[in-house]
Amino acid sequence: MNLRIGWRHHQLVVAIALIFVLTAILLGVVYGFQGVSANGMLANLFFQSMGLLVISMITLLTGLVLHRPPSPLEFIRTHPFLRHKLRRLIRAVPILLAVSVFLPAFSALKSQVGRVYPYDWDQAFIDLDYAIHGTDPWRLLQPLIGYPVVTFAIAMAYQVWILLLYIMLPLLCVWINCRKLATQVLLTYLISWIVIGAILANIFASVGPCFVEPFFGDDRFRPLMSYLQSVDRQYPLMFLDVQKSLMEWKLNNESELGRGISAMPSMHVSIALIFFLATRRLSNWLGWLMGAFFVIILIGSVHTGYHYAVDGYAAIIFTLLIWYVSGIVAQRVHRKTG
C-alpha cells in the first residue's frame, strides 16, 4: 500500500528517471558505448541502501532521544513517530530505486564527454575567468586559504559531498512533509543531473585546470597542482588520487559509476546548492550548515583544481532556474492531483 502511494506521489519523477535511462541505453547503442552498467547499477543500489540504513538509524535514535521511552523495544514496535517515518521510508523506495538506475546512466553519458563534442572550451573558460577576476581565480584564493590544513579541510568537504549524495536524498524524502516541496526538490535533483551534468557538460566539453596540462600540454596551472602535491606530502589529499584515476579511466574509456571528466558546469556546486535550497525550508540550523557547505564546495571546486570559477557560477544560475521551473511544475501537478 505504501509503495503504491509512493509511486502515485512521485510517478512524474520516476518517469523522468526511467526515460533518461532508456535514452542513455539508446545513445549507447548509437554511439557504441555501454549505456547502463549492471555493476554500476548494483553498486549504486548498495550505496542507496546504505543511505536508507543510515537514515533509519538516525530516525530511530532521534525518536528515542525525543521521547525517552521506558521500553525502547516497545517504543520501536508501537510508537506512531517511528511508524510514520517508516511509512515515509517505504514510500521513498520507488524514488530511490529509480535513482539507483538513473545515476549509472548519467555516469555512462558523462564518460562520453569529449567524444561527441571535443574538449574545445577550456581556453574560453580560462579567458573568461581572467576577464572576470583579473587573474586566475585560484591565485586570488591562495593568500586566503592556501594553507595545508585549510586545503586538507576543503578536501575532506569534497569527500563528504560523495557521502551526502547517498544520505541527503533519502533524508529529504523522509523529512519533507509537503508533497509540493518534495516534488520540487526531486525534479530539481534529476533535471540538474540531466541538463547540467549531461547535456551542458557535453556541449561545453572542458577538462578543468587539473587536467589542462596532461590533455593539452599547457602548464598554466602547474603552480596550483604543485602546491596541492606539496600539501599531499603533509596531509593526504584523496582527490589527487581520484584525479589520477579519472585520467586512467578516461584513457581506458571506462563508463562505470563515477567515471568521466567534465568541468563546465560543476555538478558538485549544483548538488550542494540543491541541498541548501531544500534544507533551508525545513530547518534554520541545517539550512545554515548546508549553506556553509555550499560555499566551501564552490570555493573548493576552484582550489582543488577541478573547476574554473565560471563552472560554479554557471551551475548556480542553471540550478536556480531549474529550481524555479520545478516549483511551478510541482504546483501544477499537485493542484491537479489534489
- Domain boundaries in the chain? 2-337
Task: Give per-residue pLDDT as tens, 276-316.
Answer: 999 998 888 889 999 999 999 999 999 999 999 999 999 99
DSSP secondary structure letter of residue 253: T
pLDDT at 36 exceeding the cut of 90: no
HSE-CB for 8 with a 13 A CA cutoff: 8
Does residue 124 carry a pLDDT above 60?
Answer: yes
C-alpha span between 282 and 30 (Å, rounded): 44
Q: Which residue has the higher pLDDT, 202 or 79?
A: 202
For residue range 150-168, list pLDDT tens digits in order.
999 999 998 889 888 888 8
State how far the Cα of 157 lies from the Cα of 331, in Å rounded to an integer.
34
**The pLDDT of residue 177:** 73
Give tens-digit pLDDT for 49-86: 777 777 777 777 777 777 777 776 676 666 666 666 66
Supply the DSSP symbol for 153: H
Question: Which among 55, 318, 193, 286 has a CA at the least distance from the CA of 278?
Answer: 286
Percentage of the chain with pLDDT > 70? Answer: 88
Q: How far is CA 38 from the centre of its chain?
A: 21
Residue with cell 603533509: 234
Give the list of residues 6+ apart from residue 239 with CB closer than 8 angstroms, or none.
155, 158, 159, 304, 306
User: Residue holding cell 551542458?
Assistant: 200
**Prediction pTM value:** 0.88
Q: CA angle at residue 299 from 273 to 131, to 5 degrees?
A: 105
| pLDDT of res. 109 | 83
pLDDT at 45 over 80: no
pLDDT band at residue 111 under the 50/70/90 scheme: confident
Could you tell me the pLDDT band of residue 113, with boundaries at 50, 70 and 90? confident
Answer for the pair 121, 205: CB distance below 8 angstroms, yes or no: yes
What is the pLDDT at residue 80? Answer: 67
C-beta of residue 85 within 8 angstroms of C-beta of residue 118: no
- Quick one: CA dihedral 191, 193, 197, 198, positive or negative? negative
Contact present, 326 and 187 (Cβ < 8 Å): yes
The pLDDT of residue 101 is: 83
Q: What is the pLDDT of residue 76?
A: 66
pLDDT at 311: 98
Asked whether residue 2 carries a pLDDT value surpassing 60, the answer given is no
CB 108 within 8 A of CB 193: no
Is there a contact between 200 and 121 (Cβ–Cβ < 8 Å)?
A: no
Helices 238-251 and 222-232, packing angle to 10 deg: 120
Say if residue 9's pLDDT is above 80: no
The predicted pLDDT at position 337 comes to: 57
